[in-house]
Chains A and B, each alone.
Chain A
């Protein structure tokens, strides 16, 4: 039996998506059902018709000492850290730099920087093997771990740091890693989250798999055709000892992880892995399933995935809590989706709403879950509402999180 962990306080978070680059913008967009998806316009991928969730606001430039690592990926990471300077400084003072870990989820890391080094007609291996103008080898900026190392450097933390990359569940997995290492006393706090950037590599890849929607994606609708890719990320500061925190934004109560062992890209048809991750998260939270009042679905917008997830949710949460998907607003943030959607779930719990799932009408009535295209509010009870957030990745690696607003 796994050891029961105490709830993990979340003292701060930041988020950056196509519908906003700060928490106020994103929360307002979440409640209003903002639409951040635009038609892909890329001369080097002109054969692909789809929509993407692109961040249009300017992002901060990479500081000179890291110029050789520059990528849009690190610009988003820098933006997320800058938005949390004050709570990070407090944590540094409270715990010490070496007691704060950094665990980040991503799928492509610095791929956008690698693509920027390549020109049409280049022989790739030779091109990459030649060093950049500033002598930084390509693999240093390309490797996934660069994002975690960069966040540690600019946040002045010196604890353990690494990337978790299990496709679309990457930045949900980091919650489990941080929770275990805090529970075991290795660290006292952690910056956890995820970042992923739009790049041709993934757009072409998903296009090749035939699962990109040409129009805006429509999770849980009868007219759903596939996914739209987005970029962005989220960062959360988790700390032990809730009593000493001046600000509390929420709590992580449960983490459930499972593995389909079925297929690299198709979920297990009976939803075994999805159900197992939700069941384990609920067990880990130590609360009855009926306490779950809101579900953020992985809800990608593909016919099969949405159907399997909907039936899995209905089986594990027969009391029928409201379910939403944000992917028609911000796109699928891939490795960053777990953390970004955890923040959206906390925001929704804080606002007291089930956010709208835009594009879900006409809703697929064969799905046994409660999804609406308009926001709904609920009467606050004596206890804080719990939210469950699902993230399911290629390789069959699934994670469910149970979150509670402060």
Chain B
């Protein structure tokens, strides 16, 4: 099985820094930014940065959002409040797993396809890409796959910091009148291809996007093969 090879036209990685401890996106008005969850800001930031330099529009691109724990900060806050006999309708409606894509659609006017997935941290990347490539291939439409976690205060250290990555896919058949730079081509295959020597590395979303962002050293194409759970494999061919 090999899903259709999918051109990647943009990608981004966001992690907190001293100068940007929280994500900031021009797609969301600062007045609205105060009302939405961290996960919504992460999603918007990741989409905005993946689309920079492309002809894709943040208000029409389809979105596949993946998160293991979703709106976990709001959820824990609601559980805390329940202990005090206190509720918050706004926090409740913002606790659903699709809060980020819902608010993103509302605030950017994006009424295109959007979905929200949950998978283990190991399976999140392949789940998002299967859903994203499936949608892009069957509907001939560009899709941004975003994997984001807002950080969970009641989880181990490695799960406490927010992170977001994004990969913008544009099928080859999509709107040839608007050409744009292509970073490379993604392929999802199963089973993993036979290799001699060491097995392919098992890469997570962050490592894959960092590889995509690494400038190509030679003019020839470079291929990275990444093992994934359940026998899947991701091949990244830089252009």
Q: Flag whether A90 is at the interface (Cβ < 8 A).
A: no
CA–CA, A161 and B117, complex, Å: 10
Find the A residue at minimum CB distance from B84.
A121
- A93 proximal to B (CB < 8 A): no
Contacting residue for B98 out of A2, A47, A393, CB 8 A: A393
Residue of A nearest to B62 (CB): A259
Chain B residue numbers with a CB within 8 Å of A123 are 80
Q: A162 near B: Cβ within 8 Å?
A: yes
Closest to A262 in B: B106
Taken residue by residue from 1 to 36, chain B's Cβ proximity to chain A (1 for < 8 Å, 0 otherwise) reads as 101100000000000000000000000000000000
A 132-145 to B, binary, CB cutoff 8 A, 1 in contact else 0: 00000111001111
> Is the pair A184, B4 in contact by a Cβ cutoff of 8 Å?
yes
B79 touches A257 (CB 8 A): no
Which one, A128, A143, A165, A177, contacts B134 given CB within 8 A? Answer: A177
State A121–B230 Cα separation when bound (angstroms): 42
Q: Which of A5, A47, A143, A260 has the most CB of B within 10 A?
A: A143
Q: In the complex, which residues of chain A have a beta carbon less than 8 angstroms from the beta carbon of B156?
A: 137
Known contacts A165-B97, A181-B134, A259-B110; A143 and B69 CB within 8 A of each other = yes
Q: Which stretch, B44-52, B136-144, B196-204, B213-221, touches the partner chain A?
A: B136-144
- B126 at the A/B interface (Cβ < 8 Å)? yes
Measured between alpha carbons, how far is A162 from B97 in the docked complex, in Å? 13
Interface status of B209 (Cβ within 8 A of chain A): no
Question: Is A139 touching B3 in the complex (CB atoms < 8 A)?
Answer: no
Are B110 and A167 touching (Cβ within 8 A)? no
Once bound together, how far apart are the Cα atoms of A262 and B92, in whole Å?
Answer: 18
Interface residues on B, range: 35 or more
Q: How close is A175's CB to chain B, nearest CB, in angstroms?
A: 12
Q: Is the CB of B87 within 8 A of A261?
A: no
User: Which residues on A sit within 8 Å (CB–CB) of B232?
Assistant: 160
A207: chain B residues at CB < 8 Å are 87
A261 and B105 contact, CB distance less than 8 A: yes
Known contacts A143-B68, A260-B105, A261-B111; A167 and B138 CB within 8 A of each other: no
In the complex, which residues of chain B have a beta carbon less than 8 angstroms from the beta carbon of A185? 1
Assuming the contacts A162-B117, A397-B102, asked whether A128 and B110 have C-beta atoms less than 8 A apart, the reply is no
Q: How many residues in A have their beta carbons less than 8 Å from beta carbons of B?
A: 71
Contacts of B99 in A (CB 8 A): 264, 395
A204 at the interface (CB under 8 A from B): yes
Q: SS class of chain B's interface: helix, strand, loop or mixed?
A: mixed
Question: How many angstroms from the CA of A77 to the CA of B122 in the assembled complex?
Answer: 23
Partner of A143, one of B110, B111, B118: B118
- A145 to B229 CA separation, bound complex (whole angstroms): 15
Decide: A397 near B68, CB < 8 A? Known: A177-B131, A184-B4: no
The minimal Cβ–Cβ distance linking B16 to chain A, given in whole angstroms, is 20
- Interface residues in A117-175 (C-beta closer than 8 Å to B): 118, 120-126, 128-129, 137-139, 142-145, 148-149, 158-167, 173
Nearest-neighbour CB distance to chain B for A260, whole angstroms, equals 7
A contact residues around B98 at 8 Å (CB): 165-167, 393-395, 397
B112 & A259 in contact (Cβ 8 Å cutoff): yes
Q: Which residue of chain B is the closest to A147 with respect to CB atoms?
A: B118
Closest residue on chain B to residue A140 by CB atoms: B120
Q: List 17 A-B contacts (CB under 8 A).
A: A2-B138, A98-B230, A118-B83, A143-B120, A145-B68, A145-B119, A145-B123, A149-B120, A161-B127, A166-B97, A177-B115, A184-B3, A184-B4, A259-B105, A264-B102, A395-B96, A397-B114
3 nearest A-B residue pairs (beta carbon): A395-B102, A165-B97, A205-B92
Interface residue ranges, B against A (CB under 8 Å): 1, 3-4, 66, 68-70, 72, 75-76, 78-80, 82-83, 85, 87-89, 92-99, 101-103, 105-106, 108-120, 123, 126-127, 130-131, 134-135, 137-140, 152-156, 159, 188, 190, 230-232
